[in-house]
Structure 1
Amino acid sequence: MGAILRFSGKMTLTLVLLPLIFSAILPTPIVSAETNRAELLLRFKPGVSRHSGEDLLHSLGACVVDEITQISVLVISVPDQAAERVKSALMRNPMVDFVEENRLIAPSQTPNDPYYSRQWHLPAIS
């Protein structure tokens, strides 16, 4: 009987401590110091020079923070309070192909592919 109590005590301790240990190991999300900035995705029309595009962005108070070169899209940062104004100004500009908010969109449902569970690589793509 004493052995069973010792075992159950150790098991309880393990079950309590194990989640605490693993929660300390999990990476914490990186929080940006600039929480008052919004990001927009932007592509200029073909033929627009980089210099004239950057001049336009600078005049609106935006700055380029990243570039997706494969599809010629710029990630730009603007002050939160000016995001709608900048977005609408860019949408009206003839040099701009498109502009939209940079945000994550969660899938609305699981695909109905019967082999989806075997496609381990799909959730691995971030």
Structure 2
Amino acid sequence: MSSETVTDVLRSRIENGRFETWLISSTGRSLAFATNTRRALLILSTEEGDPGERAVEPGAEGLSDGFVLSNGQHDAYPDRDTVLLGEAFRVVEHIVGTGLWPADARRVVDR
């Protein structure tokens, strides 16, 4: 998938009620994307079992629910551990296009 099409694919999946997407590269890296249509949880992992790095919004207050995973699980996350959907699309496009986080994206390394 290209960086030019990834947002359209994610939007289409969301419109069809599929709120969790895994983008997996040929090198074994994976990018998990889960949304409640307002905010998104993004986790970039280098291999299976790697806790990875996640996009965050430090200082954001509150808790957002409505994250429905593909296994039917319903989750809620602190807003500081997620990003607004538009920012999530920007970050995903950059990672898919370059393999790297945008320089200005805030993230936490959980390794």
The TM-score by the shorter chain falls in which range? under 0.3
Higher percent of residues as strand:
2
TM-score (norm 1): 0.24
Q: TM-score w.r.t. structure 2 length?
A: 0.26
Whose helix proportion is higher, 1 or 2?
A: 1
Structure with the greater alpha carbon radius of gyration: 1
